[in-house]
């Protein structure tokens, strides 16, 4: 008898919670959408940012930044809904096995794969390794390091835990440093296209390590 009463009570509670959830959903109106990608441009004055969306954002270990055209969003009207300001960068993919870097080219609004000649490569480099972290200042060292006189570029990928130094054709040294840098990863909640209601800079949070 007690078991039957407990079961009826449990079903009743579930029904109440279900109705409450439905009421909240209706009260909040239409559910929004989520987008996630790498920032390639950020205009603070205009309050807009541009991303290359990640086709595979549900699997953070295997991102796929291949969705074109780039998507432009207005920052949230409510300041509290905006996370840390995003850092833009053009590097979409680093392939240390092939010696290729895929970057976003703002001039053509498309991707470009640049082959490089390796000078040095280090694997399993933890974000707190002295090679990439300044313990005295308690902060990460700045990458990429572009030495146009020596014709070298050094980049660090947290996701791959790889520190790579290489050289490229002379013409590519004319490109801005952010060509070789990965932009911050952001997650966007929106209801109206191009108008972000909430933005999380997941590259600058502890719950997501790039």
Instruction: Please list the pLDDT of the chain residue by residue as tens digits (210 residues).
Output: 444 444 434 434 333 333 333 343 444 557 899 999 999 999 999 999 999 999 998 887 889 999 999 999 999 999 899 989 999 999 999 999 999 999 999 999 999 999 999 999 999 999 999 999 999 999 999 999 999 999 999 999 999 999 999 999 999 999 999 999 999 999 999 999 999 999 999 998 854 344
Q: Tell me the C-alpha to C-alpha distance, in Å, between residue 79 and each of 24, 33, 201.
A: 24, 20, 14
The set of residues, in sequence order, having a beta carbon less than 8 Å from that of 126 and lying 6+ positions away, is 161
How big is the chain by its Cα radius of gyration, in Å?
22
Peptide bond into 69 cis (omega under 30): yes
Query: In the prediction, which pLDDT does 35 show?
Result: 97
**Does residue 34 contact residue 188 with C-beta atoms inside 8 Å?**
yes
**Does residue 120 contact residue 109 with C-beta atoms inside 8 Å?**
no
């Amino acid at each position: 008898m007690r078991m039957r009463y407990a079961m009826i009570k449990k079903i009743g509670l579930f029904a109440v919670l279900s109705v409450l959830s439905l009421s909240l959903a209706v009260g909040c109106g239409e559910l929004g959408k989520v987008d996630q990608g790498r920032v390639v441009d950020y205009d603070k004055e205009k309050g807009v940012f541009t991303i290359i969306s990640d086709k595979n954002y549900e699997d953070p270990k295997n991102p796929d930044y291949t969705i074109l055209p780039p998507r432009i969003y207005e920052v949230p009207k409510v300041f509290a809904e905006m996370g840390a300001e995003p850092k833009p960068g053009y590097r979409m993919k680093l392939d240390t096995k092939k010696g290729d870097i895929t970057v976003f080219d703002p001039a053509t609004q498309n991707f470009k794969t640049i082959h490089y000649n390796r000078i040095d490569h280090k694997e399993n480099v933890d974000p707190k390794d002295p090679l990439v972290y300044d313990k005295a200042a308690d902060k990460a060292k700045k990458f990429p390091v572009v030495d146009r006189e020596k014709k070298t570029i050094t980049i660090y990928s947290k996701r791959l835990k790889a520190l790579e130094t290489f050289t490229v054709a002379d013409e590519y040294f004319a490109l801005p440093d952010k060509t070789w840098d990965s932009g911050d990863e952001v997650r966007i909640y929106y209801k109206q296209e191009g108008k972000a209601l909430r933005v999380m800079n997941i590259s600058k949070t502890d719950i997501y390590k790039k």
